[in-house]
Amino acid sequence: MIAARATSTEVEAMRRALALAAHGPATGVNPRVGCVLLSPAGDVLAEGWHRGAGTAHAEVDALAKLAPGAARGATAVVTLEPCNHVGRTGPCAVALIEAGVARVVYAVADPGDHSSGGAERLRAAGVAVEGGVLADEAEAFLADWLFTARTGRPKVIVKWASTLDGRVAAADGTSQWITGPDARADVHRRRAQADAIAVGTGTLLADDPALTARDADGGLLERQPVPVVFGHRPVPEGAAVTRHPHDPVQLAGDDLAADLRDLAGRGIRSLFVEGGPTLATAFLAAGLADELLVYLAPAALGGPRLAIGDLGVGTIAGAHRYDFTAVERLGDDVLLVARPRPAGGPRPNEGN
C-alpha cells in the first residue's frame, strides 16, 4: 500500500529506510527503524537507524549527521511513526520539530500506549505529516515487534511431530525419530528464527533436550533461541539446557498469560513451543497458540501418547478451529501450518 499523497521520491526513500532498519537488532524490546532525511529538492541529506535500546532512535541518528540548522525545511521519511515519549532517549517528534523539519512521512503508526501520538504532536507544531507509505511492507518487516506491541506478549508458535493418528511416541515412550531428516532440519531452521524456545519440565526431565538450533552435522547455527522451561520442578545441574549459549529462563506456567508478558519484558517477541503434549495443550486450551506447526509422518502407532491432551471441548460445536496457511512436503513427511480462525469466521458445512 502506498499513501496517495506520497511522492515517488518519498516512496523510494521509504524503501531505503526499510533497508536501513534491517541493520538494527532483530530482538529486544525496541523496533528496528530506519530514517532518511530529504532536502526540499528531494536530495538525501542524511540516513540513520536504531541500533537497540538506549541508543539514538533512527530520526535522531540521522539528524546527528547534519550541521545545526541543516535539516530546516527537510522531509523525514521514517518506517515507524516518530515516538512521543521520554524513555532512555527523548521524543523523536520533539527532535524533528526542534530541527525545523517541515514534513514527516511514515509507514506504520506506533501502537504503543506511551510512545504513540507523535503524528498529532508534529501536526500541532505545524509539520505536515503523511502516514501509511509502504505500510504493507513495513507491517511485514515489523511483524513480530508489532504483534508484541499490540498484544503485550510474544507470538506463540506451537510445534509437534506426530504420526498420522496423532501419536508423538510409542507406548514405551520412544519417539526418535517419528519424522525424517528433512522435517527435522526444517524444525531447527524455525527454531533459529524464534527468539525463544520452550518446553515443560516433564519433557526436560524425560528427554534432556539441548533446545538449540543445529545444522545437519550437529553444529550450532549462528542464531540461537533463548531456552525457556515451564514448570515448578528444578532444572537438574547437569541438564543439557544448562550448556545452552543463553541462560535458561524458568517460569512456573501457572498463569501462561502472565508468563508471556514476563517474556515480552525480556525482549522476547516470538516463542517456539517445542513440547511436550502437556505444555502444547495448555497453550491451545488458553487460546494462546498463534500458529501451529504440525509435522506429520506417514506412520501409525496407536496407543495413548497423543500430541494434544484434553482441551475441555465437550461437543463438536466447541472445537478449536484453524485455517491452513501452508502445506509443505518435507521428504517423506508433510508440514501443516495453521492459524486460529478469527471469531465469526466461516464454519464447516453441516454433516462434514
61 lies in some domain: yes
How far is it, in rounded angstroms, from Cα 30 to Cα 28? 6
Q: Rounded to whole angstroms, how far apart are CA atoms 234 and 33?
A: 40
User: Has residue 1 been placed in a domain?
Assistant: no
* Last residue of one domain, picked from the residues 119, 149, 179: 149
Residues 253 and 188 in one domain: yes
Q: Does residue 3 lie in a domain region?
A: no
- Three-state SS at 351: coil
Per-residue burial over 151-176, b = 16 or more CB atoms within 10 Å of its CB, e = otherwise: eebbbbbbbbbbbeeebbbeeeeebe
| CATH number for 170 | 3.40.430.10
Question: Domain boundary residue among 149, 170, 197?
Answer: 149
d(CA 77, CA 42): 11
Q: Locate the DSSP E strands across 109-251.
A: 128-130, 155-163, 196-200, 226-230, 249-251
Q: How many domains does the chain have?
A: 2
Same domain, 85 and 173: no
283-288: average pLDDT: 95
Are 104 and 138 found together in one domain?
yes
* The pLDDT value given to residue 84: 82
**The pLDDT of residue 28:** 75
How far lies 338's CA from each of 61, 321, 348, in Å? 40, 9, 16
The gap between the terminal CA atoms of the chain, to the nearest Å, is: 39
- Domain-embedded: residue 349: no
**Among 128, 149, 170, which residue terminates a domain?**
149
Phi, psi of 342, rounded to the nearest 5 degrees: -60, 150
Q: Which pTM was predicted?
A: 0.83
φ, ψ for residue 9 (rounded to 5)? -65, -40
In whole numbers, what is the pLDDT of the chain averaged over residues? 91
Structural domain including 42 reads 8-149
Statement to judge: residues 56 and 205 lie in one domain: no
Contacts of the segment 87-91: beta carbons below 8 A, 24+ positions apart: 87/115, 88/53, 88/54, 89/54, 89/55, 89/56, 89/57, 89/60, 90/60, 91/118, 91/121
pLDDT at site 236: 93
Residues carrying an active site annotation: 59
Asked if residue 131 and residue 62 are part of one domain, the reply reads yes
Question: Are 290 and 213 found together in one domain?
Answer: yes
Q: What is the pLDDT of residues 187-235, one digit of tens each?
A: 999 999 999 999 999 999 988 999 999 998 889 998 999 999 999 999 9
List pLDDT tens digits, range 79-119: 999 988 766 667 899 999 999 999 999 999 998 766 678 99
135 and 251 co-located in one domain: no
Classify residue 346: in a domain, yes or no. no
Confidence of residue 166 (pLDDT cuts 50, 70, 90): very high
Residues 109 and 48 in one domain: yes
What is the dihedral angle through the alpha carbons of 164, 170, 175, 181, rounded to the nearest 10 degrees? -40
Q: Looking at the structure, do residues 140 and 162 belong to the same domain, yes or no?
A: no
Q: pLDDT confidence of 263, banded at 50, 70, 90?
A: very high
107 touches 138 (CB < 8 A): yes
Alpha carbon 49 to its chain centroid, in Å, reads 20
* pLDDT attached to residue 170: 87
Quick one: 46 and 122 in the same domain?
A: yes
- Using pLDDT thresholds of 50, 70 and 90, give the confidence band for residue 123: very high
| pLDDT for the residue numbered 52 | 83
List pLDDT tens digits, range 126-159: 999 999 999 999 999 999 899 998 999 999 999 9
Residues 219 and 75 in one domain: no
Share of residues in the chain with pLDDT > 90 (%): 76
Higher pLDDT, 87 or 304: 304
